[in-house]
Amino acid sequence: MTKLNDQIEDYLRFGQIERGLSENTITAYRQDLTEFLNFLQQEKIDSWPTEAVEIDAFLARQKDLNKASSSISRMISSLRKFYQWLARQNIQKLNPMIEIDSPKKQRRLPVALTQDEMDRLLAAPNVEKKLGLRDRALLEMMYATGMRVSEVINLQLEDVHPDLKLIKVFGKGSKERLVPVSNIALDWLAKYEKEVRESLVLKQGRNTEFVFLNNRGGSLTRQAVWQIIKHYCQLANINKDVTPHTLRHTFATHLLENGADLRVVQEILGHSDISTTQIYTNLTQKHILEVYIETHPRA
C-alpha cells in the first residue's frame, strides 16, 4: 500500500505544481483518494482496481455511510481525474471510471423569506445612523431588483436611471440587462446618496462611481454584504440560513406568488435558461397549497 500512497502524493504534487491547483482543491483530492485507499486496504486489494464493479462497491459503501450525493459526485470526479493521470504516467492503462456515471444532483429548493420576514429585515437597520441608512438602501435595492451580490457591489451611479425606473445590470459573462426598480427602493437610494454617500466619498479623498460604499469610502465586498444581511437577520429574529442570494430567491418567489409571468422573471434575473427559473415555481406551488389549506372550508 505504500506504493499506492506514494502515487497519490505524486499525483497531488503534479496537481499543485503543474496544474496550479489551489490548496483547497488539493486537500479535497487528498481526502477523496485517501478514503478510496482505505477502502482498498479493508478489502485487501493491493493495486488500483481495473473493474468498474470494484469502484461501484466503494461508492455503495459511501452511500451506506449516508454521504450526500454531492460528496459522492466529487469523489467520482476525483477518481476520474486520478485514473486519467495513472494512464498518462503509464502506471495503469485500464480505466474503470469510464463506466461510472455520476449520480444525479438533488436539486434543493432555495430558501426564501416570507413577506413578513422580508418586511422585518428591511425595517431592521437604524436609519438614523449613516451606515444604517446605507444598509436600508442596499437591502431595498436587492429586494426590489433581485440582483446578485456581485451585481449590487459593482453597481455604478451611471447605471441607475430613476426617471425610467430602470437599472442597468452587468451580470454573468458581462451580459447587460435592464431591470425595473420600485419607487420605494429609489427613494431610499436617493436619501442614502444625499445624506451618506457624499460624506463617504469625501472620507476616501477621491471620487468613485460605485453606488454602495463602506465606512472608509471604498466599494463594498461580497463578504461585507453577507455580514450586513446576517447582522440584520439576527436583529429581525429571522432564524433561516439567509445569504445575499436568499434575497434574490425571495424577490423571484414573491413576484411569482403574486402572478408574474415566468418569462418576465427569467428576464429580470438574467437567467439564460428558463429551467433555472422554474425551480421557483416549486416554491410558489407550495405557497398555493398552504393558502388553499388555510382558506378552503373543507381543506
Return the C-alpha cell found at 242: 439567509
3-state secondary structure of 119: helix
Mean pLDDT of the region 116-137: 96
| Radius of gyration of the chain, Cα coordinates, nearest whole angstrom | 25
Range of the domain at 6: 2-99
Mean pLDDT of the region 204-214: 85
Q: Are 137 and 210 part of one and the same domain?
A: yes
Residue 104 lies in a domain: no
At 248 the pLDDT is 93
Structural domain count of the chain: 2
Q: Are 193 and 89 part of one and the same domain?
A: no
Q: Are 91 and 128 part of one and the same domain?
A: no
Q: Are 120 and 231 part of one and the same domain?
A: yes
φ, ψ for residue 6, nearest 5 deg: -65, -35
Q: Are 148 and 265 part of one and the same domain?
A: yes
Is 256 or 125 the better-scoring residue by pLDDT? 125
Residue 238 lies in a domain: yes
Q: Are 79 and 122 part of one and the same domain?
A: no
Residue 228 lies in a domain: yes
Q: Are 153 and 213 part of one and the same domain?
A: yes
Q: Are 54 and 197 part of one and the same domain?
A: no
Q: Decide if 149 contacts 245 (C-beta within 8 A).
A: yes
How large a percentage of the chain has pLDDT more than 90? Answer: 47
Q: Are 162 and 253 part of one and the same domain?
A: yes
- Of the chain, the end-to-end C-alpha distance in Å amounts to 63
- pLDDT band at 123, cuts 50/70/90? very high
Q: Which of 99, 134, 168 is the last residue of a domain?
A: 99
Residue 244 lies in a domain: yes
Mean pLDDT of the region 215-219: 89
- Beta-carbon neighbour count of residue 272 at 10 Å? 11
Q: Tell which residue, 14, 12, 70, 17, has the closest CA to residue 37.
A: 12
Rounded Cα gap, residues 18 and 34, in angstroms = 21
Q: Which of 67, 99, 131 is the last residue of a domain?
A: 99
Q: Are 263 and 153 part of one and the same domain?
A: yes
At 1 the pLDDT is 61
The CATH number assigned to the domain holding 72 equals 1.10.150.130
At 24 the pLDDT is 84
Strands 160-161 and 166-170: antiparallel
Rounded Cα gap, residues 97 and 84, in angstroms = 9
Residue 271 lies in a domain: yes
Return the C-alpha cell found at 149: 451580490
Is 174 or 169 the better-scoring residue by pLDDT? 169
At 105 the pLDDT is 58
- pLDDT band at 137, cuts 50/70/90? very high
- pLDDT band at 229, cuts 50/70/90? very high
Residue 105 lies in a domain: no
Query: Active-site residue numbers?
Result: 148, 172, 245, 248, 271, 280
Q: What is the model's pTM?
A: 0.62
Q: Decide if 167 contacts 155 (C-beta within 8 A).
A: yes
Quick one: CA dihedral 184, 249, 268, 197, positive or negative?
positive
Q: Which of 49, 74, 99 is the last residue of a domain?
A: 99
Q: Tell which residue, 278, 252, 275, 294, has the closest CA to residue 111.
A: 252
How large a percentage of the chain has pLDDT more than 70? Answer: 92
Mean pLDDT of the region 282-294: 69
pLDDT tops 90 at residue 181? yes
Rounded Cα gap, residues 120 and 103, in angstroms = 40
Rounded Cα gap, residues 144 and 264, in angstroms = 14
Residue 108 lies in a domain: no
Q: Are 165 and 215 part of one and the same domain?
A: yes
- pLDDT band at 166, cuts 50/70/90? very high
Q: Are 72 and 168 part of one and the same domain?
A: no
Q: Tell which residue, 139, 147, 194, 191, has the closest CA to residue 166.
A: 147
Q: By CB neighbour count within 10 A (0-12 exposed, 13-18 middle, 19+ buried), where does 210 fall?
A: middle
Residue 107 lies in a domain: no
